[in-house]
Amino acid sequence: METILFGQPSTVTQETIKYELSDGSIIFNGDNLDVLKTLSDNSFDSIVTDPPYGISFMGKKWDYHVPTVELWKECLRVLKPGGYLLSSPRTYHRIAVRIDDAGFEIRDQLMWVFGQGFPKNHNLGNGLGTALKPAHEPIVMARKPLSEKTVAQNVMRWGTGAINIDNCRIGNENYLPKRPDGRFPANIIFDEEAGKLLDEQSGFSKTTANKNYKHSNTDTLSNTFSNRGTYTPREDKGGASRFFYCSKASKKDRDNGLNGLDENKVNDGRISLIDNPFQRGETLRKNIHPTVKPTELMQYLVRLVTPKNGICADVFFGSGSTGKACIREGFKFIGIEEKTEYFNISISRCEDQLNQNNSIAA
């Protein structure tokens, strides 16, 4: 099939299906490596993805292996110099090494801490078991090497290389361009439930503004000295969670936009029963993808590493949470998903999000 992606000619295999949304974003149903090989060098500003963990999660065959170095090399090629890659594997050590071997620079590790995880534990009696309660997921933060001598020069040429600090400040609802409000974003992210648990442990505290201080610096992009004026530290009170970004997950988020789809039975894929009653048996779901990430969490991640008017790619698109996040944030995206059932779900969820955006704009 012949197609044009973001102004560049490319050829996709006959087995690949392309769906274009009204905002120009594209979702592919096909092998991600095949699709990536058709895309032009330096096409994307960021990649935010949730790849297979290589643990045969819920018995799914697509989760037997972690992505290859070859795939990450293709991701490196299509990213603009300085573009960031965020990848959230549980088998962090295996995927981080392969991303590093592909030529990326490992810049940091983000930690998503969540409160509602259940241990996949086998009770051996006498207080013995086989697993801890899962409460976090590491996220690789990598960057394609710069093509220019400095980050500022790279940003000037490509628009990539830096992360969006001010737009991701914590408690940033009163942000003013010339006076950044809110706390500096950390490499730890909580969900709402984990934030509540943290506040229960930390108790109530108060931040007081003892004195004002000058915040001045040299703007390396314009090479001019800028004085941002007097900055007063935040004067607030509450639990320790206010120091970190806390994503809110709607219970309806998973199935939003899927009104026209039938519910299907989903189980945990295990042959033998496990001790935790919450992880055995069957449930009815419209969105049958087993690892749906909260859209608000994905919004924060794509906003962190995608420049204004940038294009984000998700090479393991799943049911489309990254796409929904990009639509909410005003970014174009491409998603690549091999499984047709997830591809169809992602289209419905993304189209629904576009309709919601259009309704708000109207």
What is the per-residue pLDDT across 269-305, written as a single tens digit (0 to 9) for each?
A: 444 444 444 444 555 566 555 566 888 889 999 999 9
Distance between CA 324 and CA 315 in Å, rounded?
15
Which phi and psi angles does 129 have, rounded to 5°? -150, -170
List, as one string, the DSSP characters of 258-284. -TTSPPEEEE---SS--S-GGGSSEEE
Token pair of 137 as six digits: 């997921």
Please provide the average confidence, as pLDDT, over all residues in the chain: 78
Q: Which helix (H) or strand (E) holds 329?
A: helix 321-329
Topology (CATH level 3) of domain 2-361: Rossmann fold (3.40.50)
Nearest to 244 by CA among 182, 326, 294: 182
Residues 28-49 have a mean pLDDT of: 94
What is the per-residue pLDDT across 315-354, written as a single tens digit (0 to 9) for each?
A: 999 889 999 999 999 999 999 999 888 898 899 889 989 9
Look at residue 6 in the predicted model and tell me its pLDDT.
Answer: 45
Which phi and psi angles does 72 have, rounded to 5°? -65, -30
Pairing, β 136-143 against β 79-87? antiparallel
pTM above 0.85, yes or no: no
Considering only residues 258 and 97, tell me which one the structure prediction assigns the higher pLDDT: 97
Distance between CA 44 and CA 39 in Å, rounded?
10
DSSP reduced 3-state for 317: coil
What is the per-residue pLDDT across 185-237, written as a single tens digit (0 to 9) for each?
A: 999 988 888 888 888 777 777 766 554 545 555 566 665 544 444 444 556 67
Look at residue 53 in the predicted model and tell me its pLDDT.
Answer: 62
Distance between CA 44 and CA 26 in Å, rounded?
13
Backbone angle region of 317, left / alpha / beta, with phi > 0 → left and psi within -120 to 50 → alpha: alpha
Q: How confident is residue 238, by pLDDT bands cut at 50, 70 and 90?
A: confident
Nearest to 87 by CA among 349, 244, 290, 301: 301
> Which long-range contacts does 115-120 make (Cβ < 8 Å, 24+ apart)?
115/191, 115/192, 115/193, 115/194, 115/195, 115/196, 115/197, 116/191, 116/193, 118/276, 118/278, 118/279, 119/276, 120/274, 120/276, 120/279
Q: Which helix (H) or strand (E) holds 120?
A: none
Pairing, β 311-314 against β 282-285? unpaired
Look at residue 305 in the predicted model and tell me its pLDDT.
Answer: 96
Whether the predicted pLDDT of 64 surpasses 80: no
Distance between CA 249 and CA 296 in Å, rounded?
7
What is the per-residue pLDDT across 249-262, written as a single tens digit (0 to 9) for each?
A: 666 766 666 666 66
Distance between CA 119 and CA 11 in Å, rounded?
45
Could you say which DSSP state residue 328 is in? H
